[in-house]
Every structure is written in C-alpha cells, then in structure tokens.
Amino acid sequence: MPPRALRTPLTLAVLSLLRERPRHPYEIQALVRERHIDQVVKMRGGSLYDAIDRLADAGLITTVSSERAGARPERTVYAITAEGTAVADALVRDYLRTPAQDFPVFATGLAHILTLDAATAADLLRERREAIRATHDRTARQLAADTAGLPRVVTLEVEYAQALRVAELAWLDRVVRDIDAGALPWLDVADAPPSGAP
C-alpha cells in the first residue's frame, strides 16, 4: 500500500485521466476544469504538479516524452503504469466502500451556535437555506437537462450531492421553525460550553 500522499482524491483524478491516454500536466489541469472534476476534488495551482511529481517518483506514472513547441516551456507527457492502474482501482474501491471522516465546516458552526442568540442564529440559518435552495434548483435543472443526453450513471455524484442538499434543506427548515416557535430552548453562553456529546 503506497503512502497516504499517493492516495488522495487528486492523485486518483490524475491516474484516471492518464488511464484514458497519456497526457501532459497542463492538459490534465484543463480537463479537470472542463469536466467540472474540480467540483468534487480540491485542486489549486501548483499542487497538481506536486502530485504528478510524487506519482512519477513512486513509479505509478512514467514520462513518455518531452515535447517542446517553440520556445515555450517544455511539456512532459506522462502515462500510467501497471502499478498506477492497480492503485487507482484500489482507491476507487476504498472510496466507495469505506465511509470517511469528513469534516464539513457547517458542523463546526453548529457546535458554536450558542455563542449567538437564538434570533441571530435563526437568521443565519435562513440565509444558508436560501443559498442552498438556489444551488439545489440550479442543479435540478441541470440534472433534468442531462437526462435527455447523459446516462444517469455518469452523473451519480451530482445526484448524491443533490440528495444531501435536499436533506439539509429539510433539516434547516425544521430547525428554523423550531427556533422561531421557541421549541428549541436556548441556553446562556456562560452555562453551556460549545461542545458536542458529553
């Protein structure tokens, strides 16, 4: 099992794109944007080049050629190796099978909600709800348009994110209503440390 740094969402994206055919880093970057993979995988600036270097050092990908068009910087083309394919496969299985410890920042916000008063909290949650509702509606339209062209299996991750959005909307609705109705008793900050379970 290769080290942690070779088993990240970004390295998986790289391996997958190289699985289709050899490419150079910039092409990968462009594809990640074009196919909206960056909505699912965090990719910022130079970290892609770093990831590719690591993969090459570990032998999961190899240099195929080094073209140069004019006096522009060199383009190194990489291809996936057998080990790379194996790792990619194992990674996909892992990601699907094992629920990971994600740390959504909203949960952090909720853990500290008692530093605010009830009315303010309700207002903020309402704002959040509207923002999510907007994203939801946009995604719904997009998914509807897709069903006319794309097979469902290629947009599963969008469908999943949408399902979570629906659930969060419903949850926010309930909580906001409860706060407004006084059905969610508030506490004085001094009494209650902003914590989780006991």
Partner DNA sequence: ACTCGGTTACTCGAACTCGACTATCCACGG
Partner DNA sequence: CCGTGGATAGTCGAGTTCGAGTAACCGAGT
Query: Per-residue x/- mask for DNA, residues 1 to 40, rule CB under 7 A?
Result: --xxx--x-x-------------xxxx--x----------
Q: What is the DSSP string of 101-125?
A: ----HHHHHHHTGGGS-HHHHHHHH
Contacts of its own copies in 73-132 (CB under 8 A) = 88-89, 92-116, 120-121, 124-125, 127-128, 131-132
CA-closest candidate to residue 150, choices 36, 18, 33, 29: 36
Residue from the set 64, 75, 116, 155 that interacts with DNA by CB under 7 A: 75
Instruction: Count Cα atoms within 13 angstroms, Cβ side, for 105.
Output: 1
User: Which are the contacts of 81, defined by CB distance < 8 A and separation ≥ 6?
Assistant: 59, 60, 61, 62
Record the tokens describing residue 58, joined without a space.
């570990």
Query: Per-residue x/- mask for DNA, residues 44 to 73, rule CB under 7 A?
Result: xxxx-xxx--x--------------xxxxx
**Residue 12 binds its own copies, judged by CB under 8 A:** yes
- Other beta carbons within 10 angstroms of residue 87's beta carbon come to 22
| Smallest gap from residue 11 Cβ to DNA (A) | 8
**Residue 166 binds its own copies, judged by CB under 8 A:** yes
Contacts of its own copies in 28-47 (CB under 8 A) = 35-37, 39-42
Beta bridge partners of residue 75, listed in sequence order: 67
Q: Enumerate binding residues for DNA (CB under 7 A).
A: 3-5, 8, 10, 24-27, 30, 42, 44-47, 49-51, 54, 69-76
